[in-house]
Amino acid sequence: MTKHDHSERAIGIIAAMQIEIDGIKKKLTDNYTVNISGIDFECGYIGDRRVVCAKCGVGKVFAALCAQTMCMKFALDCIINTGVAGGLADGLKVLDVVVAGDVVQHDMDTSPLGDPVGLLSGINIVNIPCDKNIADTLSECVKAEGIKCITGTVATGDQFVCTEEKRQYIKSTFNAAACEMEGGAIGHVCYVNEVPFGIIRAISDGGDDAASLDYPTFARLAADNSVKAVLRFIETYR
Ligand code: ADE
């Protein structure tokens, strides 16, 4: 196989920001970069596992652009989205981890036309289920790192959630455990491309009135917790 042959099946890893993906990129061997539409896809190996990593940028459009490109240019076993999130579930603390059982887009709303809030017109679902084997394996990997982990709904939207009111709306409308800005878009792209996917997010803040202060304090530490579990996942997932 030549270096730039993309036919060997890879685990695709997507994160919005550098601090969420650097810990994985650093472990790549035999690596090289392919730039497409302004996104660097870093290809290589971790152990004997082929891995493609990308920093997609913040928000649903960048996330979808990155996930769709990854699906089209590389042979993928799955896509994992790693990073940080605002915690919504009761009892969840900063640095704990949420593994998504499913994803919703909390800012998708055609309810004035009679649809349920969050409905993805065309595919006609609100909650997109994650791959169960991937979610279970990710949860085991988090726990093996000694980090608290829950499984639940991850709610995605093009907003940094930082008011008690917005937090309560997302929590109660979607029964969401965490909020972030990319997972739902990546899940949406994977769903239509029939690529198994998983979302893992460590809590950097509570999505509440203190979120704008907590986020810069805890984002890096939280991102590291998610990365640790993903590295273990890459070793384990078959
Ligand atoms: N990512 C981390 N914290 C977040 C928040 N409060 N809202 C949206 N995305 C986030």
What digits encode the pLDDT tens for the residues 95-152? Answer: 999 999 999 999 999 999 999 999 999 999 999 999 999 999 999 999 999 999 999 9
Above 70 in pLDDT, residue 218? yes
Instruction: Pick the atom of ligand 1 nearest to 157's CA.
Output: 8
Gap between the Cα atoms of 233 and 187, Å rounded: 18
Residue range 101-112, pLDDT digits in tens: 999 999 999 999
Q: Which of 42, 182, 205, 208 is catalytic?
A: 205
For the chain, what is the domain count?
Answer: 1
Domain membership of residue 82 as a residue range: 10-236
What does the pLDDT average to over 14-23? 98
Is 30 one of the catalytic residues? Answer: no
pLDDT surpassing 90 at residue 208: yes
Point out which residues pair with 155 in neighbouring strands.
104, 179
1 belongs to a structural domain: no
Q: Is residue 119 part of a domain?
A: yes
Report if residue 83 sits inside a domain: yes
2 found inside a domain: no
Contacts by residues 165-169 (CB-CB < 8 Å, ≥ 24 positions apart):
166/207, 167/86, 167/88, 167/206, 167/207, 167/208, 169/106
Q: What's the CATH number where 142 sits?
A: 3.40.50.1580
Burial zone of 185 (CB within 10 Å; 0-12 exposed, 13-18 middle, 19+ buried)? buried
Would you say residue 197 lies in a domain?
yes
The pairing of strands 76-87 and 10-15 is parallel
104 occurs within a structural domain: yes
Q: How confident is the model at residue 3 (pLDDT cuts 50, 70, 90)?
A: low
Reply yes or no on whether the pLDDT at 210 is more than 70: yes
Query: Is residue 34 domain-resident?
Result: yes
Is 226 inside any structural domain? yes
pLDDT at 215 over 90: yes
Q: How far is the CA of 45 from the centre of ligand 1 (A)?
A: 30
Ligand 1 close to Cβ of residue 83 (< 6 A): no
Instruction: Say if CB 64 and CB 188 are below 8 A apart.
Output: yes
Q: Give strand pairing partners of 129.
A: 102
The mean pLDDT of the chain is: 97
Between CA 184 and CA 202 the distance in angstroms is 16
Q: Is the pLDDT at 2 greater than 60, yes or no? A: no
